[in-house]
Amino acid sequence: MTANFASGTIWTGDNLAVLRGMNDACVDLIYLDPPFNSNRTYEAPIGSKAAGAAFKDTWTLDDVDVYEHGEMADRNPAAYAVIEAARQAQGKSMQSYLIFMAVRLLEMRRVLKPTGSVYLHCDDTAAHWLRVLMDGLFSKSAFRNHLIWKRIGNHNDGGRFGRTADHLLFYGQDIHRNAVRIPLSDQNVASKYRHSDERGAYSSDDLTGPGVSDGEAGTAWQGWNPTDIGRHWSVPRTGDYARWIDGSLIHGYLKEDGILKRLDLLHEAGLILFTSKGTPRLKRYLEANPGQVPPDVWVDIPPVNSQARERTGYPTQKPLALLQRIIKASSDEGDLVLDPFCGCATTLVAADRLQRQWAGIDLSPLAIKLVDERIAEERGLWGGATALTEPPKRTDLGELPNYRTHRHRLYGEQEGVCVGCKTHFPFRVMEVDHILPRVKGGTDHPDNLQLLCSGCNRSKGGRTMAEWRATQ
């Protein structure tokens, strides 16, 4: 589906209304770093680029639109069960926070392409609840990683171990492994690549695997048979090293099916050594190692320090390197990246650097100011982001007829009964109503329409159905 907004757009306002106005399945990657329910208020230091930015991260049921509460119970009973469990285990603050998150995550799932990925950044306050919620909303099979980012070196947390980690819940597609490789650590190189020759450092690797084979993998080569020691030949055929051999030393190696023939080729290319006991082993060169795919614990990305060039002073600012890794892992050039809690626009700046399209949303008007400053600083000539406050209007619902034209159909479907007071009325006193009003992101789509008697319709006014019900 095509996005109904331009790349480079930032909305100032509540992301729920903006997300509701976005077309289905138009975003390739969503990174969200919402408030964590940390029971704190965050403020930027006076004098920093972000001075004036503040947000509260303490939750009560008043922070949640009553509609959101009702909507979750109605639209996703499984997610609501998780929220209810959180209320019983931890109380209303966690319940409110999870309702706030769940309605927004539902919209994010809708706007994400089926081929897209989502990373939810949080801390250990709510990571466990959010993980179950995400399993329910994005499906268990879409789960990829529960990443740990070691965000600070040490932290003194009297009475318990220091809390130094943030959590990233990653759902979606397989990552682009080669886009995120990191160099091997010196320690790793020193312990593994202990030999060297004219081609450089190498490790001496086994050419066999456990268990005997009746086939070619169990036959002798150069007078040595792995069957004698209960093993079989395991000669590289796939993977990074086989590809390197094929590309750099033995053209056509990957196409060679014969095991003994592959051993011959490796031997001719000087890639086999023999131990003092005559056992053949594979030389695995450091030069061929493309680096390590980061594990699920990230200790190599430092936080934004007080002297860093990228520092804006925005509370909870995340490092560009963190976002660059995520964007490289889970998107391609030209893809659309969305950050619905974009803060000082770290994701947007990182996406821009990596030639992705991007859009962001934040309650704070500072996001737009900061992204403009940050991108202009890097690009020099920069036309500026598009700043909007009005949510977009969906264009993927087709040409919708005037909503009033649904009156007859609705009257038939509801069998003449008003959804509000459940009373039967003649056709002429029934009025078509938007369940979710248009000002709150509701559309003229038939799914959002119902018939109310004129009395109920007047009483409901501009409220959502759930808001109105709560007052009945």
Ligand X SMILES: C[S@@+](CC[C@H](N)C(=O)[O-])C[C@H]1O[C@@H](n2cnc3c(N)ncnc32)[C@H](O)[C@@H]1O
Residues of the shown chain interacting with ligand X in the complex, contacts defined by CB under 6 A: 14-15, 33-35, 55, 314, 316-318, 341, 343-344, 346, 361-364
Sign of CA dihedral 343, 347, 350, 356: negative
Shorter beta-carbon distance to ligand X: residue 330 or 364: 364
For residue 267, give the nearest of 240, 233, 290, 238 by alpha carbon: 233
Residue 316 CB, nearest approach to ligand X (Å): 4
- Name the residue nearer to ligand X (CB basis): 34 or 442: 34
Nearer to ligand X (CB atom), residue 41 or residue 222: 41
Report, in Å, the least distance between residue 20 CB and ligand X. 12
Task: Give the residue at shortest CB distance from ligand X.
Answer: 343
Which tokens in the block code for residue 78?
A: 């499984």
217: phi then psi, degrees, rounded to nearest 5: -70, -10
- Shortest distance in whole angstroms from residue 367 CB to ligand X: 7
Q: What letters, b where the CB count within 10 A reaches 16 and e where it falls short, cover 391-402? A: bbebeeeeeeee
Q: Who's near 238: CB < 8 A, 6+ residues apart?
A: none
CA R_g for the chain: 29
CB of 288 to ligand X, least distance (A): 37
At 361, phi and psi to the nearest 5? -140, 140
Instruction: List all residues 6 or more positions away from 10 whose beta carbon is below 8 Å from its beta carbon.
Output: 342, 345, 348, 359, 360, 361, 362, 367, 368, 371, 385, 386, 387, 388
Cβ closest to ligand X, residue 103 vs residue 432: 103
Nearer to ligand X, 35 or 391 (CB): 35
Nearer Cβ to ligand X (94/418): 94
Instruction: State the nearest-atom distance from the C-beta of 346 to ligand X, in Å.
Output: 3
Q: Shortest distance, CB of residue 12 to ligand X, whole angstroms?
A: 9
Angle, vertex CA 198, rays to CA 196 and CA 202, nearest 5: 30
